[in-house]
Structure 1
């Protein structure tokens, strides 16, 4: 049996990108159905950093007031040497930053952002949200796209957006590539700030060292403190979970600064996140099918842009649906023409920044630190390509 209304837009994936895409479609007067694999809409993880580019997209969706209720607006981004504790570089996030880019740098809990998007979708009245839906197959005919779930049930609509993440099934329509393991793993944790002594509640801090780093910042109105530990495993084994273990984490962070080492006791060790990305592809649209977010451009997290780029995608798509309603083929083609160069640049830059912060040889480390020391906190040129309007060619971002 084929279900859903004739003109529905089908969206596979109910994460940040998928829900934002549904909101964008609703803003353009398009009804949609979101298919989420999990049993409920929610995020596994901890904090998320949102640059001004993401905040502009959320403003476009009318969500800044809700974000403000749970957000923290840090004063600085700080890079520290994980062994000496020395500040290597600082980015001032105060008034001059906001004046330059139009929005604040914002941190919050991922589940808070997911909830805000979910509630906003429910309020539209034009978005149907379905759980326990693992979409296995996609077929397109002249004017219809049909998908099949894990139980063989068919759903049909006018167009399809694949927002089903790193391991996207919809991406297989365009590419047979596979996720690339960086051989790094992440462990995360959030704890009540009341349980931490002398925690820095004003900054996002990244402690960096050879093949490892630690990130710290407050979330949820400074009620929780977010911690992320990342390191390259020296025991990497393809197709195995027996690498990047908590035991290896303890060995790798031995000897680091006491404040950084203290954070390890608050890390949750039950869940390990191996870190993957993919190479950029030069096409993610076919007929009335396109990709969005990590399904289109999965990236390593070193620029904190994975969720931000998904929100940008959704805002662009919404803008184009408003101006070119009805013709999904043209909308999707125009969307990818703008988004592929932008997201490819961010993907490759994220890889490069991973190499920079994780440098292991003494000479590259000395050169890196010398360049960092020459910067002033209000030298924003290094992040202009991420946050400045001139880097985002769209009516929405100009």
Structure 2
């Protein structure tokens, strides 16, 4: 059955990264995307050095670097006082420490890098309007059932179909995602519409009680990405719903005017209610495995969702290289190498939201004191476990040694 492709459910960043990663190893794949066209919704995302490690391994490093904006620092601001809490430099010392930069990109631009690579490679086939609803397997092949009723055979099936993954329903069967109660509003504005005194070459976080504001430049300094989040105990998932300025303003009346002016400059705001899932120990079912948000959806607070999906693609491609028809043990090795690292990011993302982004009173004062006391080297030491990996070193033994608090 080695002439059959690996089926990949989902044509987002994780699915396309997997397809090009497999192609580099001589493995053919068929990407099945439910949307009528291949593309990404959303706006900016942040890329740590581990993302660039993955780009290089997946063969798209030059293209990814060409469309990224390289920021000078991560800035944490107190949204109540308007004062800076701490600044983490991302200069040459950071790049030397981790071997790669920290950058921000437009999600659509990043998706386009992988899409172009996939379209140019003869071992990658792409299909739209092809949602995978279910699958069957016989020990040698997997047959995917599409929403249209069409059935397609492959050597294996990778579920890269996101938070609401149909494949996860079969592999894990853990029901609906966990609703965090945090509502995020996103906008992208021309750089000239950004207040001049906030046009910083930084990923900036204004942290306040039960709310925060994030902004950074995008697309060659043509745009600014704006993200504001309010912990309003929203009960139901929502994705990409247009909202009014008045709705976005709610929950931010108490923050400093210098921070609040970002909201006033936003345009065409859209709303998401953030969701994640608890980590699980196994993402495989025979010749089927999960990847990216289908395997380990996480909150935005570590800025690692896309990075973890690309690391998954690196690891999966490495395990499937040379596996031939012996897919099941290769998929189990992939899941074993990735599960603890991604679980750590999932759980720490929740904790960062609680203890850094949204605390109030004495909790916030303690945050400020702890973070102000750290030197750049202290910060670099704290994230070495995260930024120093390529996605290939995720062996269980290594991860077990790094699970303790920093």
Q: TM-score normalised by the shorter chain: which range applies?
A: over 0.9
| Stretch deviating more after TM superposition (141-150 or 15-24) | 141-150
Map of 1:224 onto structure 2: 223
CA distance in 2, matches of 1:268, 1:143: 52
CA distance in 2, matches of 1:173, 1:352: 29
User: Map of 1:316-395 to 2, 5 A cutoff?
Assistant: 316-379=315-378, 380-389=380-389, 393=393
Q: Show structure 2 runs of 5+ residues with no match.
A: 399-406
Question: Retained in 2: the 8 A contact 1:16–1:310?
Answer: yes
1:148 to 128, 145, 148: 145
Could you report, residue by residue, the CA deviation over 1:158-201 in whole angstroms, capped at 9, with x for unpaired residues?
Answer: 10000000000000122222200001111111112133341424
Question: Retained in 1: the 8 A contact 2:194–2:262?
Answer: no
Map of 2:15 onto structure 1: 18
CA distance in 1, matches of 2:269, 2:84: 31
Map of 2:126 onto structure 1: 129
Map of 2:288 onto structure 1: 289
Q: 1:193 to 1:270 in 2, by over 3 A?
A: closer
Q: 1:239 to 1:260 in 2, by over 3 A?
A: closer
Map of 1:193 onto structure 2: 191
Q: 1:73 to 1:327 in 2, by over 3 A?
A: same
After TM superposition, the score normalised by the length of structure 2 is 0.91
CA distance in 2, matches of 1:254, 1:290: 45
Q: 1:360 to 1:290 in 2, by over 3 A?
A: same
1:66 to 56, 63, 68: 63
Question: Retained in 2: the 8 A contact 1:302–1:354?
Answer: yes
CA distance in 2, matches of 1:277, 1:186: 14
Question: Retained in 1: the 8 A contact 2:35–2:130?
Answer: yes
After TM superposition, the score normalised by the length of structure 1 is 0.93
User: What is the deviation of 1:268?
Assistant: 4.2
Could you report, residue by residue, the CA deviation over 1:219-268 in whole angstroms, capped at 9, with x for unpaired residues?
Answer: 1111111111111115x3447899x9854431311132223211112334
Q: Does 1:119 align with 2:119?
A: no
Q: 1:22 to 1:165 in 2, by over 3 A?
A: same
Question: Retained in 1: the 8 A contact 2:238–2:271?
Answer: no
1:108 to 100, 105, 108: 105
User: What is the deviation of 1:5?
Assistant: 9.4
User: What is the deviation of 1:67?
Assistant: 1.6
Question: Retained in 1: the 8 A contact 2:207–2:358?
Answer: no
User: Map of 1:20-39 to 2, 5 A cutoff?
Assistant: 20-39=17-36
CA distance in 1, matches of 2:194, 2:360: 34
Root-mean-square deviation over aligned CA pairs: 2.4
CA distance in 2, matches of 1:181, 1:135: 24
User: What is the deviation of 1:270?
Assistant: 5.1
| Stretch deviating more after TM superposition (258-267 or 180-189) | 258-267
Aligned residues: 392
Q: 1:5 to 1:332 in 2, by over 3 A?
A: closer
**Which secondary structure does the structure 1 equivalent of 2:125 belong to?**
strand
Q: 1:24 to 1:223 in 2, by over 3 A?
A: same
User: What is the deviation of 1:359?
Assistant: 4.0
Could you report, residue by residue, the CA deviation over 1:190-219 in whole angstroms, capped at 9, with x for unpaired residues?
Answer: 112133341424111011011111111001
Q: 1:219 to 1:238 in 2, by over 3 A?
A: closer
Question: Retained in 2: the 8 A contact 1:5–1:157?
Answer: no
Q: 1:70 to 1:187 in 2, by over 3 A?
A: same
CA distance in 2, matches of 1:240, 1:28: 38
Question: Retained in 1: the 8 A contact 2:161–2:293?
Answer: yes
**Which secondary structure does the structure 2 equivalent of 1:272 belong to?**
strand
CA distance in 1, matches of 2:217, 2:145: 41
User: What is the deviation of 1:361?
Assistant: 4.3
Question: Retained in 2: the 8 A contact 1:49–1:108?
Answer: yes
